[in-house]
Structures are given as C-alpha cells and as structure tokens.
Chain A
Amino acid sequence: MKVPISWLKDFVEIELPVDELAHRLTMAGLEVDEIRFVGLPLPGSGGDGKPGQPVTKISGIEWDPEKIVTAAVLEVKPHPNADRLVLCELDDGAQTHIVLTGAPNLYPYKGLGKLEKPLKVAYAREGARIYDGHQPGQALTTLKRAKIRGVESYSMICSEKELGISESHEGVIILDDEAPVGVALVDYMGDAVLDISLTPNLARDANILGVAREVAAITGKPLRHPDYDFRAEGAALDDMVSIVIEEPELNPRFAVGLIREIEISASPYWVQRRLHLAGMRPINNIVDATNYVMLEIGQPLHAFDYDLLVKRAGGKAPTIITRRARQGEELTTLDGVKRRLDDFTVLVCDTLGPVAMAGVMGGLETEVTENTRSVLLEGASWNFINTRRTVNAQKLPSEAAYRFSRGVHPAMATRGVGRGLEMMRRWSGGVVYRGLVDNYPLPPVDSVVEIGPPEVRRWLGIDLSAVEIAEILERLEFKTVVQGERVLAATPDHRLDIGTGVIGVADLMEEIARIYGYERIPETRMADELPHQLGNPEFEREERVRDLLVNLGLQEVVTYRMTSPERESRLLPDPSQAETDAYVRIANPIANDRNVLRRSLLSSLLEVVERNARLGERLALFEIGPVFHALPGSDLPEEEARLALALCGRRQPPAWQASEAAAMDFYDLKGILEGLFSALGIEGVRFEPPGAAEGVSSSSFHPGKCARLRLGERELGWMGELHPLVRAHYELPDAPLLAADLSLAALLECIPAHIQVEPLAAYPPVLEDLALVLDEAIPAERVEQVIRAAGGRMLKGLRLFDVYRGGQTGEGKKSLAYSLTYQSSEKTLTDEEVLKIRQRIIRELEKELGAKLRA
C-alpha cells in the first residue's frame, strides 16, 4: 500500500518528520518497508533528534527549491534544425528563457503564437539534480549547459520520470491551470510515499483514510473525514434502475448512483500525480474517479456505461441482479479474456446475463469507453470468501479484489458512491441524478464489547483506568460509554474485525496495546506457578545418539523430506522392482523429483555421499529423521524415526606423516555401531548374516557383507557394504560404501535406564592366549559362545586378536587367536584352577566345532 504524505494530510495534520512518522506507524503494526521521496528533502543530517538513526529503507529524490520551480510556457516555437524538437518561451517567475524540449505533448501548441492560456510546467534550472530521462531506471544527473542542434540549452521542462514521480517519460508534466508561477516545486507538490505492508487484519487500513486514522490515533491529532455528499442537479434516480439481490449472504449491500452528460477526458494533473504515486495508472476522469475513491476510503467502485445497460434492457430502465454464477456460465472481462465461471463466483447481471464478476473485474461489454456519456456507479459489498475463491480460481488479483477479499464494511458503499459521483461531476462536467438506489438487505451487527481495568491488567500487565481505556478506543473511533469501572465500546462502521465476548476483549486488547504503545508495556518475569517438569525422555535420548555419533567421528546431515519414487528406487539392485504404491504423495509437488515423502532415510543419505564424492577423501555421515508410511484406514501417515549412517573412503584423514590410508570396510562401520551401543549401555546386539528372512531393506546390501541387527526379538535394522548393483546407480568414490539403516525408535527403546557398574577386581587376573584352527565356515560369534559357555564365570575377558589364513592352517581352514582373562572376585586363582578351565574350553571347542589348538 503506497501512501503519499500529501494525500494523508487531507485528513490529518502531520507535524512529525516523515521518517519519524514511518517509525511510529511501523511500531503500531503498519510496517513501512520503504519511504520514497518525491521532492521533499531526504532525511540524513537529522533535525528529528535522532541524527543518523535509520528507520527504514529510504529512496527517491529531493527537489532543490532554488533550481526546480513552477513556470509558464508562453509560446511553443519550432526548432530551426529539428522537426522533433520545439523551443518554448518560458517564464520562471524571474525572467524569460528559451527552453528546448522534444516532448510530444507540446507539439499541438507549436506555431500557435502566444498561448491564450500559458501552460504550467515543472522547470529545472541549470545545475538542478534530476533523474536522467533517457537512462533506464533512476540515474541522477545534473543539468549542464550544452548546444543541441545549434541551440543553446541549459535547463529543462521536466517529465514525471525526471522528477521521480513515475516511470512516464512520454511527455512533460503539464500542471493544472491554477498552478502558480515561480514557486519552488517542492512547496507546490513535493511529496514522500510510504510503502506500507499491511497484515491481513488491517483490511480497514488499505486506504489513505484508514492510515490517516491510525496516524491520528498515534499522534493524538483529530481526524478530518472526507465529504461524502455530492451535488445533484439532475432528476430523481428512482425509476432509472432497479436492483435485485438473490443471496444477501453473498451481497449484503448494493448501491448505485447515476451521472449523465459527462465528457471523458484526462483527470486533473494533481489526481494523476496522486494515482501514480499510489501505484496506479491514470486512465481517464471516470475510471480515475473510481480508483481515487477506492484508494482514498477503501470502497471499490465500478462504473458501467449506463446507455449500454439501457440498450441491453431493450430501451427500458435496467434491472441489476446479483447472484451466483450458473453451471458453465461465461463472461468476457474488460481485460478481453473470456472466463468460465465457478459456482462460488458472484456476478452482477442484468436481464440478459452477467455484466461483471462481482468485486473482481467488470465485463468488457458494459465498460466505460471514450464514447460513454452516462455512468451508473456501483458501490457494493461482497462476501470476502467468495471473492477470494474467485480471485484464486481466475488468477485475477486486482486492487478491488484485494480489498473485497479481506472484507469491506457495507456502510462504506454509499459513502463511496457519493464521493465517486462528486469527483466525476467535478472532473467530467456531468450532471448527477438525485439520490441513490440502495439495496441493503443484510447490515452487519457492529459488536459492542465490555471491558475494564481488570482485563487490561490480566492481559497486558498494565494499569489503565476506565477513562483511559475509553480515551484510547475513541481515538480509533469506537463509540464508548464509561459506566463506573466498565467501558462499553461500540465498533465503528468501517471495520469488521472486532468479535464479541472474550474474543472481542482480545481484539480490543490489541488496539489498546498498539495505541498505548508496546514499548511502554514493562518487561516482567513470569509470576505464574512453574509447570510440571515432564521432560522429554525420547527427545533427550535422540539427542544423546546424535552426540555419540559425533564423538565417533561422524558428520550430521539433514536432508529433504520430499523425494521421488525414482530417486529412492536407485536403492534396489533392480529399480523396476520398486513398490511405488506405498508412498505418501504430494498433491501439489513443487518439482517432479519431490513428489512423495521419503520412505528411506538411507536413500537421502546416499545422495549426500554422491554430492560430496569429489570433495572428501573420507566421508562419514549420519542423519536422524522421519520416514513416512501411508497407513491404510488412517488420515495421517506413520512417521517413523530412523537413523542412517554412511562411511566411505580412508580410515584416517590424510596427513604429512604416515596415516592409515586404507579404505574403511565392514568392520569400521561395525566398530562404530558397537561403540554406539556400548556408549548407550545396550548389550547383546547380534549382527546376523542375512538368512532366509531376507527383507526388502536388505537387498540394497552385498549379501555376503551385510548383517541384520537384532536385540532379542527386536529388529534394529541392517548394515553392511552396498550391493555392487546398487552402487552402480550412484556416482560414488572409488572405495567400499558402508551403510546402516536402523530404526531409531527401536534403538531408543533398547537403552537401559541405568548402566550397572561391576565392582573393581581385588585379585590379580591370569592372562593367556589361545590360538585355534577351525573350518572357515564357522562364524566367530559361535566360537566365542562356546568359549564363554565353557569358561564360565571365571572367564572375565575374551578378545579376538588375530585372524589368519594360509600357511600351516590348510585349505578351507582359518586360525583365530584369542586373548583370555581369568579372574575370580573371591581369591587369587591357582595354576591348577586355570588349567582346568582352559582344558574344559579346549575340549568343548573340539567337541562342538572340531577346533584344534594351533601348533
């Protein structure tokens, strides 16, 4: 919302510097994104008591009062050497100049001799700083003396672009006839435009009057209302038009007025300038009047060519009908587009059919053209939801729809029509019919809220008396009655956002806080009782897992939840086997490769490995996050927390000294997982080779180099080296890729509440080594089980320290070497006792596994 200060001053006195005003508005919730200066002096050196303190983005141009002035063109003469240039004899109040210009809008005056009515213009003298009209954008330039086609030039008649008013450089500004001559232009029409971004609740402020009301409330100045009366010199309107409203819920009010004998022309310059500054393009005096009133008081208006309506009615007085669009109905809007209408779209029709999409855009057939002589001016109110849906469905945002889709109070309708008719009368010379035709079947109930000091104390923590509360609300035009310590506040008839009961109290609380000033509310610490300290054990455990993985040398990553089945199918040796039905699908994906919610965390993680393949010689990554499974019979999918790890590349980072350059393998990943489980106090996790129960999740792994992780009956997930066929789907570094895909929820459930500490041994341990030769096929886990079972409770420690193949072990055999620790918590073990245990272990190994002691 662009608000020229000069327009604001029509309704409220402003003493504050512009940037201070912007600051105050911003604090009160009308955020000023930018101040664009169009003539008024730029802030900077201070003078507002806060030198150099910035407030918001500042842009624009200031007009030097000595060098840029109003002037009168007395005569327009041809240029001796150029058809496209003219020489203007100009009076700048001090002297006469010959000014060279190529402005096409002066050509019609060429060669007419002394003008009967001199043209008022904006004149820049030598040395003036203005924008270069020939450069794109806004490039400042200083006017210098030059010779153009043999004629000396040192000054300029300015276009809007050169003065920063608009982008228009088609011709020079021709001011209204009333303009004085020789006055500093900044004093005549210097301005600054506040660009305010309005939150949705501030619909009432989407107009100059609304902002002026806020300024008045903030600064304590009175608000001057515009005049809604119009001079009517024509006949009574009554029989000229009738109105039928089919659904008052959709159209609570519809009012029209009529003006005839208008002459379509350009609006006065001051109107055009205001429209430009407010961000709208001037069209003609009739269209401009509708836009001007909309910008000024927030009531959108629509102008119909009345004679065309009469023609459509067969020469009779037209009947206006408002209703829902019917199935398949169409309307060509004034942008020339034929539109198919939805059943939520509200239409303005006559007996022949639709003539406008209510509140959004008029129809082409009945629009105002150069030939229009009579205008039927509509001011209505429309259901904001239907307007919003229509705007979205038709992708047709407009200034009118912006306001209607946020809600315009029906009381504004007749005010808008009245003011619009008066503007049209003044600017087009027409005659206005007496009265309006006003159909108002559904006036809103303006709420009355009861409030008092206790509520203000309870919500805001400040003490205000009933009188002070009433005074604040009156500044926003609430009508208040103070009864003792209670205030009854009636909502003014320009806003629809105040509720009733406790909601109304909250609504008023916001207004009281805004106008009182958020900055004046003291900062306090909560005096309320402390809540129950429930903690969040699941979250705390998850955070612990993160910390441990970081301690184990892994980098955390966080990836997108959205992916595509194609991306995830790369995880399968044969992507065509992917199940695509089980996905949770996005109805409106932002990209084709982000059209479902992920089912695999590992897939996301491998994409990160791929992305960084060329960067790191050692990649060690993990992610914790949800995957999503559609649940039959449920509205919402299951969100399963998972943990994925990926390792690839050197075991240790490269260094100038020798470091372990070998690539990480299965046992690096297993070691990290064992480290994690141990740190979490989880004991007994089994790494099982894939058996008959191979699930989908395992097919991504090399069948000989992967393991299923289980704790008791609980499935934790899979880990291992990536399947070579899966690997081929990714661009990975030239080293084994180790990955784990685990259920975080299952893992967290395994964490014991406490770690049990064993007492430190008081008696010395006996250490010895045991080297075995046994069949290759026997897993190490099995050997360990047998040793532990045979060793009993005196066997305190067991550690594999060597695996050896070849040499004397023989074909199909391997040698495992263990270091054993015997220890009793009750006494020092004797050699005989140790020997007995040792022999038992060797016997059992031989019996169970056919293992022999290595020679």
Chain B
Amino acid sequence: MLAQLDQIEQKALDELQAAADEEALQQWKVTHLGRSSPLMRAFDGLGGLPKEERPQIGRRANEVKRRLEEALEERSGALRQAAVLRSLSAERLDVTLPGRPVARGRLHPTTLTMRQITAVFAEMGFQVYRSREVELDVYNFQLLNFPPHHPAREMQDSFYIDTGSERGDNPVLMRTHTSPGQVRSMRFIASLYPGDPPPVRLVLPGMSFRYEQVTSRSEMQFNQIEGIAVGRHITMGDLKGTLSDFARRFFGQNVRSRFRASHFPFTEPSAEMDIECFVCGGAGCPVCKRTGWLEILGCGMVHPTVLANGGYDPEVYTGFAFGLGPERIAMLRHRIDDIRNFYANDLRFLEQF
C-alpha cells in the first residue's frame, strides 16, 4: 500500500511538470486530487485496511495529499509569473513618443526676473513699496535734487501729460524712474512715527517711461527696481556689502563685483556696480563689450537734499539707494538680444520661460 502511494505521488508530480497552462493544471487537479483520483480512492480504501496498518498508511496518504497540493500551488505560481513575464515583452511602449501635453501657464519674463530680485532683497529685510506711474515733476525730479533745467534731466527725456493748463515748473509726466517712490516712501514711513522717523529698507519695483525711440536696445517703457535703506548708521561700506551680497546670491557665489564712481543727482557719492561677465568669466566677449565686466546697477549714498525732502535729517541719518533694470538683467541672463521682445508679447518668446 505504501508503495502504491509512492507511485501515486511520483506519477502526479511527474505529470505536474508537464502541465504548462491553467487549463492543464485544472485537469491535473481533477486527475490527481479529484474525487475519483487514485489518491482519494486510497483514502476511501483506508477503512478496509488492517487496523494496525491504518495509521501509518493514513499518515502517508495525508502527506502525499499535502505535497501534491503544495506542488500545485508552486507550479501554479510559477506559471502565473511566467505568464506575466511573457506579457511584459508584448506590452512594450514606444517611450520616445511625446507625452500628453498639458496647457501650462507662465509668468511674463519681467515678472519672473523681478520676483527673483525682490526675493533676494526680501531676505535682507527690504520690503516692497509701490507708487504711482503718472507723476509730478516735483516728485520725479525736483525733490530728487534735479532742479528745473538741470543737465542730468537730459539723460531722462520724459513723456509729458497734457493737463490743459500751464503748470510752469511742475508738469505732470510719466515717471522716468521708480525713484519718486524714494521720497514718497520715506515720507510715508516717517509719518508713522512723527518726530522719530524709523529706519527704511524698501525695494520699489515698477514701470518707468522714457521718451526714446523703440529700438533693439531702448524701450519707451521698462521696469525698474529701486532700493533704499535709510538709518542712523548706514555707510557706503554697507552699500557695497549689501549689493555685493545681492550679486553673489543672484548671479553666483563666485561672482566678483566692482564699484565705479558715477553720478546721479539723488545720490552722492554715486557709483555704477559692475559684475564680472558671467558669459566669458572676465576674459572679454561681445556680451560685455570686451571689457570683462557687465554694468548691473547704479547706486550711491542718498543725497542730503533727498533725505531732508523725505523727512530725514541728513545730519542724523544716512542711507543708500540703488536702481536696477529687470529687463536688462533678464537680457544678460538669457542672452536676449532685443529689448522689444518684452512688450511685443510674441508667444514664441514668452513660451520659452
């Protein structure tokens, strides 16, 4: 009897190896574990065995059953796995086909650049202050130490507003820079604490306007970001440190900057800040006009007249101010060779950002 069971087991296991799909497995199961399978019949025959043989044969029969069931499970798993593996090779995608496009929105490149700039200054405590685009000559020029007929006005040709009346030395105009915000913001902040004006640390982003023919290098409308810091202990060293920190944050930690003497009526001393050309590394190239340096911003110590006009006693307070052009910086960074791209709003340009 035991030999018979061995035989049953061996035969079933042999046939299981030949079963190659789910159907064959079912067939095998019926044949070897089904009601009328030799194994089941062996169980059925247990009752007819002599009493002393019964436990041994019964144990063995159960063992065979368990082994056959395990073998079936194992074989079945192996077959399923093989089937999955077979199907994988059939389910191959062309992964080089393009993805399903998503309608993506974008910010205008000047918005992007302005955000990047104001973000760096925000971390240094400079907050955003905005002021109007149509201004009085007094705010745009006179309070900034450009008296009427000052030669420096020639560098800032203005669009004037037709007010229908003769306004003498205080015409209405499109602001030529965001600097009128210097006096407006200082007056605002000083007004919060009359008699004891608190320190000022602001950036003033916004659109500015110059009466200039639109060419690849000049626009009649462009953004500016002005910055101003006023307090009791602010020095030109702080100006250099703050702006060099900005340059390293914005253009790269290894970027060198330099300050050249220059002139703006509303700052004194005044400076132009250059950074080492990031295109050629300072060796000289067409982008930096072969000088190795890129002019990035104008800056200086706030002129005593401007401090006084803003409500800050120049005998007590000092400050620095700076102004930079987001379009110019975007042009340098992205090698945009025509400033007109910004306000032409051609999607072929805008969609590159």
Name which residue of chain A comes closest to B236, CB basis.
A460
- B155 neighbours in A (Cβ, 8 Å): 200
In the complex, the chain B residue whose C-beta lies closest to that of A54 is B284
B59 contacts partner chain A, Cβ-Cβ < 8 Å: no
In the assembled complex, the Cα of A587 lies from the Cα of B135 at a distance in Å of 14
B263 within 8 A of A: yes
Instruction: Give the residues from 365 to 401 in chain A that come closer than 8 angstroms, CB to CB, to chain B.
Output: 384-385, 388-389
A611 touches B345 (CB 8 A): yes
B235 contacts A536, CB within 8 Å?
A: no
Which residue of A526, A552, A555 contacts B234 across the interface (Cβ within 8 Å)? Answer: A526
| Interface residue? B111 (CB, 8 A) | yes
Residue pair B200, A587 in contact (C-beta under 8 Å): no
CB distance A561 to B207 under 8 Å?
yes
Nearest CB in chain A: distance from B100 CB, A: 5
B172 within 8 A of A: yes
* Closest B residue by C-beta to A658: B100
Name the one of A199, A405, A549, A589 contacting B263, with C-beta atoms under 8 angstroms.
A199
* Among B240, B268, B292, B347, contact of A555 (Cβ-Cβ < 8 Å): B347
A461 touches B348 (CB 8 A): no
Task: Decide if B151 touches A388 in the complex (CB within 8 Å).
Answer: yes
Asked whether any CB of chain B lies closer than 8 Å to the CB of A559, the reply is yes
Closest-by-CB residue of B relative to A513 is: B269
Interface code B89-125, partner A: CB below 8 Å = 1, 0 otherwise?
Answer: 0000000011011111111101100010000000001
Flag whether B199 is at the interface (Cβ < 8 A). yes
> Which chain B residues numbered 190 to 235 have a C-beta less than 8 Å away from chain A?
192, 198-201, 207, 209, 211-214, 220-221, 229, 231-235
Q: Interface readout for B64-82 with A: 1 if CB under 8 Å, 0 if not?
A: 0000000000000000000
Q: What's the Cα separation between A509 and B221 when bound, in Å?
A: 34
Known: A506-B268, A560-B343. A587 touches B160 (CB 8 A): yes
Contact of B162 among A200, A202, A586 (CB under 8 A): A586
- A514 close to B261 (CB less than 8 A): yes
Partner among B125, B154, B240, B347 whose Cβ is within 8 Å of the Cβ of A530? B125
Closest residue of chain B to A52 (Cβ to Cβ) is B283
Which residues of A541-599 are within 8 A (CB) of B? 543, 546, 549-562, 584-590, 594, 597
Please tell me if B337 contacts chain A, counting CB pairs below 8 Å: no
Shortest CB-to-CB span from A541 to chain B, Å, is 12
Q: Are A526 and B229 in contact (CB under 8 A)?
A: yes
A678 within 8 A of B: no
When distances are taken between beta carbons in the complex, the residues of chain A under 8 Å from B221 are 560-562
Q: How far is the CA of A805 from the CA of B90 in the complex (A)?
A: 46
What is the interface size of chain B, counting residues whose CB is below 8 A from a CB of the partner? 101
B303 at the interface (CB under 8 A from A): yes
> Contacts A510-B261, A587-B160: A528 and B234 contacting too (C-beta < 8 A)?
yes
A460, A528, A558, A655: which contacts B343 (Cβ < 8 A)?
A: A558
Q: Does A105 contact B (CB under 8 A)?
A: no
List A residues 607-660 near B (Cβ within 8 Å): 608, 611-612, 615-616, 618-620, 626, 628, 635-637, 639, 652-657, 659
Q: How far is the CA of A549 from the CA of B111 in the complex (A)?
A: 14
Contact with A along B253-292 (1 / 0, CB 8 A): 0000011111100001111000000000011100001111
Chain B nearest CB from A405 CB (Å) reads 7
Closest to B199 in A: A531
Tell me which residues from 117 to 151 in chain B have a Cβ below 8 Å from any Cβ of chain A: 125, 127-130, 132-136, 148-151
Complex interface: chain B residues within 8 A of A525 (CB): 238, 241-242, 245
What's the minimum C-beta distance from A392 to chain B, rounded to whole angstroms?
9
Alpha-carbon separation in the docked complex, A746 to B127 (Å)? 24
Q: Known contacts A507-B268, A556-B111, A655-B100: does B201 contact A530 (CB below 8 Å)?
A: yes
Q: Does residue A38 face the partner (Cβ distance < 8 Å to B)?
A: no
Chain B residues with CB under 8 Å of A527's CB are: 233, 238
Q: State how many angstroms separate the Cβ of A248 from the closest Cβ of chain B.
A: 19
Contact B105 A552 (CB under 8 A): yes
Contact check, B348 vs A551: say whether CB atoms are below 8 A apart.
no
Segment among A26-34, A73-81, A488-496, A680-688 that sits at the interface with chain B: A26-34
Task: Tell me how far the C-beta of B313 lies from the nearest C-beta in chain A, rounded to whole angstroms.
Answer: 9
Residues of A within 8 A of B214 (CB): 590
A518's contact among B200, B259, B283, by CB below 8 Å, is which?
B259
Q: Which of A812-844 contact B (CB under 8 A)?
A: none
Cβ 8 A contact of B304, one of A53, A460, A502, A543? A502
With A518-B259, A518-B271, A531-B199 as given contacts, are A656 and B97 in contact (CB-CB < 8 Å)?
yes
Q: Chain B contacts of A550 at CB under 8 A?
A: 105-107
Interface contact A635-B201, CB-CB below 8 Å: no
B110, B135, B241, B242 pick with most chain A CB within 10 angstroms: B241
Q: Are B344 and A513 in contact (CB under 8 A)?
A: no
Interface flag for A56 (CB, 8 Å): yes
Chain B proximity of A714: nearest CB distance (Å)? 23
B132 cross-chain contacts in A, Cβ below 8 A = 636, 639
A506 smallest CB distance to B (angstroms): 4
- With the chains together, A277 CA to B130 CA distance in Å? 48
**Interface hits, A473-530 → B, CB 8 Å:** 502-503, 505-507, 509-510, 513-514, 518-519, 521-530
CA A754 – CA B270 in complex, angstroms? 45
Q: Does B322 contact A (CB under 8 A)?
A: no
Does A112 have its Cβ within 8 Å of any Cβ on chain B?
no
Cα distance, A13 to B79, chains bound together (Å): 98
Q: In the complex, A526 Cα to B152 Cα: how many Å?
A: 30
The distance from the CB of B151 to the nearest CB of chain A, in whole angstroms, is 4
A568 to B: closest C-beta gap in Å: 17
- B262 and A199 within 8 A (CB): yes
Which residues from B are CB-within-8-Å of A518? 240, 258-261, 269, 271
**Cα separation A619 to B291 with both chains bound (whole Å):** 43
Determine the chain A residues whose CB is within 8 A of the CB of B347 once the complex forms. 555, 612, 615-616, 619
B161 and A585 within 8 A (CB): yes
Interface residues of B in 276-321 (CB under 8 A from A): 282-284, 289-292, 301, 303-305, 314-315, 318
Q: Tell me if A679 is interfacial: C-beta within 8 Å of chain B.
A: no
Confirm or deny: A311 has a beta carbon within 8 angstroms of a beta carbon on chain B. no
**Nearest chain B CB to A599 CB, angstrom units:** 13
**In the assembled complex, which residues on chain B have CB atoms less than 8 Å from the CB atom of A728?**
none
B350 in contact (CB, < 8 A): yes
Cα distance A656–B99 when bound, in Å? Answer: 9
Q: Are A29 and B106 interface neighbours, CB within 8 A?
A: no
A502 cross-chain contacts in B, Cβ below 8 A:
304, 314-315
How far does the alpha carbon of A52 sit from the alpha carbon of B303 in the complex, in Å?
39
- Does A94 make an interface contact (CB < 8 A)? no
B261 engages A521 (CB within 8 Å): no
Nearest residue, chain A, Cβ from B301: A459
- B350 proximity list for chain A (CB < 8 A): 555-557
For chain B, residues 13 to 64, give those with C-beta under 8 angstroms from any C-beta of chain A: none
Cβ-based interface call for A97 (8 A): no
**Contact indicator A558/B301 (Cβ below 8 Å):** no
Q: Which residue of A lies closest to B106 (CB)?
A: A555
- Given known pairs A585-B161, A612-B347, A635-B136, the reply for A554 and B128 (CB within 8 Å) is no
State whether A539 touches B159 (Cβ < 8 A): no
A534 contacts the other chain (CB 8 A): yes
**Residue of A26, A52, A459, A528 contacting most chain B CB atoms (<10 Å):** A528
**A406 CB–B CB distance under 8 Å:** yes
At the interface, yes or no: A462 with Cβ under 8 Å from chain B? Answer: yes
Q: Which of A531, A539, A553, A639 contacts B104 (CB 8 A)?
A: A553
Contact A636 B134 (CB under 8 A): yes
**Complex contact A555–B351 (CB within 8 A):** yes
User: Measured between alpha carbons, how far is A558 from B108 in the docked complex, in Å?
Assistant: 7
Residues of chain B with a CB closer than 8 A to A807's CB = none
- The digit string for A457-470, where 1 denotes a CB below 8 A from any CB of B, is 11111100000000
Cβ-neighbour of A200 out of B152, B192, B283 (below 8 A)? B152
9 CB contacts below 8 A, A to B, read A57-B289, A388-B151, A506-B269, A521-B240, A525-B241, A528-B233, A558-B345, A585-B162, A586-B161
Closest 3 CB pairs of A and B: A29-B261, A461-B235, A461-B237
Additional A-B contacts beyond A531-B201, A555-B351, A597-B161 (8; CB < 8 A): A54-B292, A502-B315, A503-B303, A503-B304, A528-B231, A556-B350, A635-B172, A656-B98
